[in-house]
Amino acid sequence: MQPQNRPLTYDERKAAEAAFKGAPFDPQLSESARKVYLGISSAMANKRNEAFQDYDLSQPAVKDKRASIESQPRSRAKSPLW
């Protein structure tokens, strides 16, 4: 059985916006809005965790690149505008 597609209510839209912005949930919103908020927040947290699992700082190429950038002297000279 597939869920029905329907437009979000005002409360659900407000909850979705808050979840995407990382803002706290407004307890005055409806129960269905709370479910929307929790669903989006959970999905975004899982996505962030997956991104960090793919990024491994122990790889030599990542360390070497970061070290070479940090060791370069910083110049305040203005570049020519061409």
Can you give the residue range of the structural domain that contains 20?
A: 10-65
- Is 49 part of a structural domain of the chain? yes
Number of domains in the chain: 1
Backbone phi, psi, residue 70, to 5°: -70, -30
User: Residue 29 and residue 17: Cα distance in Å, rounded?
Assistant: 13
* Residue 1 covered by a domain: no
Per-residue pLDDT of 5-23, as tens digits, reads 899 999 999 999 999 999 9
Residue 22: which region, alpha, beta or left (left: phi > 0; alpha: psi -120 to 50)? left
Q: Once rounded to an integer, what is the mean pLDDT over residues 47-76?
A: 60
Q: Is residue 35 predicted with pLDDT exceeding 90?
A: yes
**What does the mean pLDDT of the chain come to?**
77
Quick check: pTM over 0.85?
Answer: no
